[in-house]
Structure 1
Amino acid sequence: MANPDNEGFIRSFARGLAVIEAMGRSGTHTVATVSVATGLPRTVVRRILLTLCELGFATESGEKGFRLTPKILNLGMTYLTSLPFWGHAQRALENLCVQVRESCALAVFDGEEVVFVLRIPSPKIMSLRLGMGSRLPAYATAPGRVLLGFQSEEFLGHYLEETTLEPLTPSTVISKEALTEALRDVTRDGYAWVDGEFDAHVCGLAVPVRDEQRNVVAAISANLLSSEMSRDRAVKEILPALRAAAEQLSGLAPAFLGPASRPYPRANGTSASSRA
């Protein structure tokens, strides 16, 4: 969690990042809507928006409206291109998608959510409008369960204390005791299976990716249609390919990707994930 009282904390910079995050949600934004989303005064929001426009990261759109420009991608792409690992991950994910013919993704943990840092979609699943940067609730998704299941009891305790388990579908596990039991199964089995908890029509299978110290820092997952795939079939047909892809990346993944490499941060604001 950010500490504004830290002598190295630059409040104006933090406010600018908060405005960028708020504008990352779909649509055109006004000073008023960004002010509500960030909790910042309108005068502060207006100055930040005009600064972003001056630097080319945003532009005025319609009457009193603002939107981000493609230049903002430079900030995110720096993260994805800073290490050779991302090239290996892209190739591994592409090969995996060819093998299983399903939507596949590489995810990391951030706050109370998982974030897709790479994703290759399948035309089979149209109900999930997801891509790189999409954020999903960890408790209701297969990659999230993998990333939670292999963390320490202390980390999991913080997560369960800070997170509200909302019923996203009739099948969503919202009992902390039941979720804890499900995470024990993940640790025992070495994979996570989640069916209809984030989207009623979609199931997911995920496995861990480890750093050179064998700590779990990321997850590789496949999204499948519940009407077409049972757990037993997925374990037989999809799981071996997922594990092979994860093994290609294990040892290459940097430790800083993992949630255990930094203090537990509370998620800020509403999830940017998109469900149909």
Structure 2
Amino acid sequence: MTVDEGYYVKSVEKAFAILGAFTPDVPEHTVSTAAAAAGTSRAAARRFLLTLRDLGYLGFDGTAFRLAPRTLDVAAAYLAHLSLPQVAEQHLKQLSAELGETTSLCILDGTDVVYVSRITSLRLLRVAVNVGTRFPAWATSMGRVLLAQLPAEELETYFADVRLQQYTRSTVSSVAELREEVLLAGIRGWSKVTDELEDGLRGVAVPVRGADGTVVAAANVSLQLHSSDGVETTVLPLLRAAADRISRDLGSRGGPA
């Protein structure tokens, strides 16, 4: 990233690096582990951690630091002014009730998909997912739908830079295979992923369009009760109908903020 040194504040960068070290997989840190994760010295990490604790963004139990509820304030302020999750929620709830499955809405953020709305069914999922959870776009049905909508030059850059990881035996193993999957998602207007991110994790997704007709998100159904083989007749029609309703409501409200 190129920055103008006239305004750039390195201490802000370091503070957010410390906050970014706390993830769903690593929810707590000591001074030493936070320093290593943020790429800073132990002395600097200690100052940032204690400052963030005093400001209410971190908790400390005498041994380790972890995120405090106040960190939700920033995300809540963002989501409060984003009409997309608000518009989608009622339709995702209806879809979840119709299918008895968990439904979600994701956006593309860089190389990841980010969950901005999620309605969980009573059936327990193997992977804990909440609003704000990120997954690599290439490994998800939502991501492939969203990648398929990128301009050709941008998509080629993505393929050139992407680094695949073999999560399971079913995970796409090459960029060529991924390219085919993304192309197919663009042609048919939906994508299905089975056991690629984790064994037993299956899902199908379709695009959601904003007021100007461009794709702004992907609606998804996590397939727990329904067979992935029959998804085109059992799940896809209802999912597409829900995505169409979300798209129409976005149009009437002027699209996402």
Q: TM-score, normalised by structure 1?
A: 0.85
CA contact (8 A) 1:196 1:202 kept: yes
Q: CA RMSD in A?
A: 2.1
Work out the CA distance in 1 between the residues paired with 2:7 and 2:172. 40
Over 3 Å counting, the alpha-carbon distance change for 1:243 and 1:106 in structure 2 is same
Shift in CA distance, 73/46, structure 1 to aligned 2, threshold 3 Å? same
What amino acid is the match of 1:55?
L
Structure number with the bigger relative contact order (C-alpha 8 A, sep ≥ 6) is 1
Structure 1 residue 168 displacement after superposition: 0.8
Q: Distance in 1 between matches of 2:51 and 2:221?
A: 40
Q: 1:126 offset after TM fit, Å?
A: 2.8
Give the Cα separation in 2 of the matches to 1:12 and 1:86: 33
Question: What amino acid is the match of 2:59?
Answer: T
| 1:247 maps onto 2:244 in alignment | yes
Equivalence for 2:49: 49
Aligned position for 1:265: none
| TM-superposed deviation, 1:6 | 5.4
Q: 2:231 aligns with which of 228, 234, 238?
A: 234
Deviations 1:93-148 (A, max 9, x none): 11111111111111111222111111122343431111111111111110011111
Please tell me whether the aligned partners of residues 83 and 256 of structure 2 are also in contact (alpha carbons under 8 angstroms). no
The residue that corresponds to 2:196 in the other structure is 197
- Deviates further, 157-166 or 80-89: 80-89
> CA–CA distance in 2 between the matches of 1:212 and 1:6?
38
Q: What residue is the counterpart of 2:153 in the other structure?
A: 154
Contact between 1:58 and 1:67, CA under 8 Å: does it hold in 2?
yes
Kept in 1: contact 2:84–2:256 (CA 8 A): no
CA distance in 2, matches of 1:53, 1:108: 31
Question: Is 1:29 the equivalent of 2:26?
Answer: no
**After the TM superposition, which parts of structure 1 deviate over 6 Å for at least 4 consecutive aligned residues?**
253-257
CA contact (8 A) 2:146 2:207 kept: yes
Aligned counterparts of 1:152 and 1:23: Cα–Cα separation in 2? 33
Cα deviation, 1:165-188, whole Å, max 9, x if unaligned, reads: 111110111211111111111111
Which one is further off, 247-256 or 156-165? 247-256
| Residues 1-276 of structure 1 mapped to structure 2, 5 A cutoff | 2-5=1-4, 7-25=6-24, 26-63=26-63, 65-225=64-224, 228-231=226-229, 233-250=230-247, 252=250
Instruction: Give the SS at the match of 1:53.
Output: helix
Instruction: Indicate how the Cα distance of structure 1 residues 126 and 51 shifts in structure 2: closer, same or farther if over 3 A, else same.
Output: same
86 and 27 in structure 1: CA distance in 2 versus 1, 3 angstrom threshold: closer
Deviations 1:176-234 (A, max 9, x none): 11111111111111101111111221211000011222111210101113x85033x21
**Residues paired across the two proteins, number:** 253
**1:95 maps to amino acid:** Q
Asked if the contact 1:59–1:69 (Cα under 8 Å) also holds between the matched residues in 2, the reply is yes
| Structure 1 residue ranges without an equivalent (≥5) | 258-276
Between the aligned partners of 1:31 and 1:5, the Cα distance in structure 2 is 30
How far apart, CA to CA, are the structure 1 residues paired with 2:3 and 2:61?
A: 33
What is the CA distance between 1:85 and its match in structure 2?
3.4
Greater shift after overlay, 191-200 or 6-15? 6-15
SS in 2 for 1:23: coil
Q: Distance in 2 between matches of 1:123 and 1:161?
A: 40
Distance 1:256 1:17, change over 3 A: farther
